[in-house]
A and B are shown apart, each in its own frame.
Chain A
């Protein structure tokens, strides 16, 4: 019941390699099915995101042989020479594989430390693999544990709470001021990349209405279609500033597009309702003196970048706590794995003892001719009862005593002690 993991990620492979070895949903299922049908793995799950492609599995026999076969399969599946791929691939077994997955699900192995998306991607990969019969008892338990630890790390540490990108920092600030954004309006000025990211996040939070203003009416219409918003004519400040609660500006302009007097007038029209201004343009799009106006919250690109920088160091301080949670869940999984292996060891032992008893009686039947058949049957039953009783006690103990299961770390040693070569296989 060993676990093997073969994969690559942003640390081990450049983007050119990662994009060649990535799996679409359909490819992931096909590869998983082939790996099982070829006997390379018994249980399989393919996790493929933009930063990683990993195959988790339970091998039928020697874990290292399976890892090697898996690496060969990956190179043939993606048509990459084994030599080109081997430098980027990592192989993890058992405890290391479990720890790796749990760190991935917790966001500890992500390019952006603590990012939240990965947990959803792990959940989705598991859901699909489970639905297609790719997972069995081991991977089910492994991935349920991964989802559990990922959730705990996010709820019990600060690793995932603070925004880590300029766009998410801007949106989180909007939530600090207005609360839920589903009854708020936003105005987008221009069409810079970061501005688009902010708008995309505002959309994710179901912002009630989005207005788009651009110097080019065609571009404005295109953006409005893309974001699902309405266009407003460029420069129509009197009307367009009265509506939004959030303004995201990323205009390519040498001069500020919004001056103090314009906004001051607009604030009077909007009865001083709070207004969040995100100036993401370089050079700045909004007059810096706007920050002094009543109920205005102005943040430029540097302000948001500084927030992200502070948050990054705060997140890094949370890593040891997150690692402790990961370790706790790794131990939990290993304890479960050991208990399952012990129970299976006892089952094998019980079968073997019964076989031994049958063989023993067969060999000595000539000496027992004075017994009638019903007496022999009775004796066999009594012997079975005795053997069952002898094995029942440790089995019950194993089921009931968690501490005992934790103590028995090396199940292989017990297997070697009690079973012969044939049974061990």
Chain B
């Protein structure tokens, strides 16, 4: 059954990407709508693929690296879909879908990673992890949007007007979408971190358990909050704020990879 959902997800995401590309390059509105519809189908299939995988491994998705990556891809798709509907803009789909597809393929085609036996159980822990991954996904989306902003702005300022420039979202909208992504990420990371402390408190009887991940997460939180403030300020609004958003995500990747693998005592895959 997992195999079926896997194929369905890849097909739906793949066709969604093709439709979004057609929408971007040929300007076909119907292709954009089809891209959204296929993305929704892909999300359902991806959800069931995750569910089947978890059943097969008798664990939750975030207990191994690949499960976490798949969940990241799913939440990235959910966040993107939310922003697409809220901002009524489909031109970005072609840039986001490749990431979703890659995360899904790598996580489901690779052999299952080592399952970490942790005392991690309960609703608070589940929300802590899911919200943290949602925050990373939202920051990831803002990263993609900021990159598009920087590329489009460069083309506009250098007067290199190819076919795609006329199809990309307006700079103003890209900024607003990127900021929306960061707002979602900040809310998710604040609640997720608070739930993490709550869980530590329940498990160890104290919240003052130090892990290097805390410092990096706090830094991520501060830097993204700074981005939100600076993006509306005189000196930073526009390209500078977008560059900061790109830099911030580099730190998120560092937190997601190096910090988890080499420094953190309790965080492994999220």
List A residues at the B interface (Cβ < 8 Å): 155-158, 161-162, 172-173, 175-179, 268, 271-274, 291, 294-295, 297, 299, 303, 306-307, 310-311, 314
Contact = CB atoms under 8 A, between A and B. Distances in A.
Given A177-B172, A179-B173, A299-B159, A158 B26 contact: yes
Nearest to A311: B161
Contacts, number: 63
Contacts of B169: 179
30 contacts: A155-B28, A155-B29, A156-B26, A157-B26, A158-B27, A158-B163, A162-B166, A176-B166, A176-B168, A176-B170, A176-B171, A178-B170, A179-B169, A179-B170, A179-B172, A271-B234, A271-B237, A272-B235, A274-B172, A291-B157, A294-B240, A295-B237, A297-B156, A297-B157, A299-B159, A303-B159, A307-B161, A310-B161, A311-B161, A314-B163
Interface in B50-64: none
B83 to A, nearest CB: 15
Nearest to B27: A161
B27 A274 contact: no
Chain B CB count within 10 A is highest, among A173, A176, A271, A311, for A176
Given A178-B170, A179-B170, 7 more contacts: A157-B26, A158-B27, A177-B170, A179-B169, A271-B237, A272-B234, A303-B159
Contacts of A314: 163
Chain A CB count within 10 A is highest, among B159, B172, B173, for B159
Nearest to B166: A162
B28 A156 contact: yes
A177 B161 CA distance: 13
A175 B172 CA distance: 9
A267 to B, nearest CB: 8
Nearest to B240: A294
Nearest to A296: B157
Contacts of A176: 152, 156, 165-166, 168, 170-171
B238 interface: yes
A273 B175 CA distance: 13
Interface string B163-188: 10110111111000000000000000
A351 B268 CA distance: 87
B159 A177 contact: no
